């Protein structure tokens, strides 16, 4: 069935360090891979996304990479700041239904 595995479940880094979150998806029909940031008690916010015809995308301190062959995609945050602390979710999307399958989430803590 459709499944997205996300690791690690928790990640603690020092301010200024990099953070990497990895996801694996099961359905090769997936062609859209967004990342969401969710702060406590708030809505998920789209922070970056990548489509299946692109291998890498960068937006300031955030980058996402996609390996379609291995069905892996990753989020990279450089120069982390305390305000980056939140739960991050990866998702795999399907163009024919608009469905997003979410990972279990990674709680990122950036220590000042």
- Which residues here bind other proteins, judged by CB under 8 A? 4, 6, 31-32, 34, 36, 42-46, 49, 51, 89, 91, 93-105
Name the residue nearer to other proteins (CB basis): 31 or 78. 31
The DSSP bridge pattern shows strands 100-102 and 62-67 to be unpaired
44-73 b/e with 16+ CB inside 10 Å = b? beebbbbebeeeeeeeeebbbbbeeeebeb
- Minimal distance, residue 14 CB to other proteins, in Å: 26
- Minimal distance, residue 16 CB to other proteins, in Å: 28
């Amino acid at each position: 069935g459709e499944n997205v595995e996300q690791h690690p479940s928790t990640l603690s880094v020092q301010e200024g360090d990099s953070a990497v979150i990895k996801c694996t998806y099961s359905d090769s029909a997936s062609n859209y891979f967004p990342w969401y940031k969710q702060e406590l008690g708030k809505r998920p916010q789209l922070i970056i996304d990548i489509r299946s015809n692109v291998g890498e995308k960068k937006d300031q301190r955030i980058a996402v990479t996609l390996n379609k062959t291995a069905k892996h995609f990753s989020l990279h945050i450089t120069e982390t700041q305390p305000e980056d602390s939140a739960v991050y979710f990866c998702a795999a999307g399907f163009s024919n239904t608009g469905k997003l399958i979410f990972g279990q989430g990674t709680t990122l803590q950036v220590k000042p």
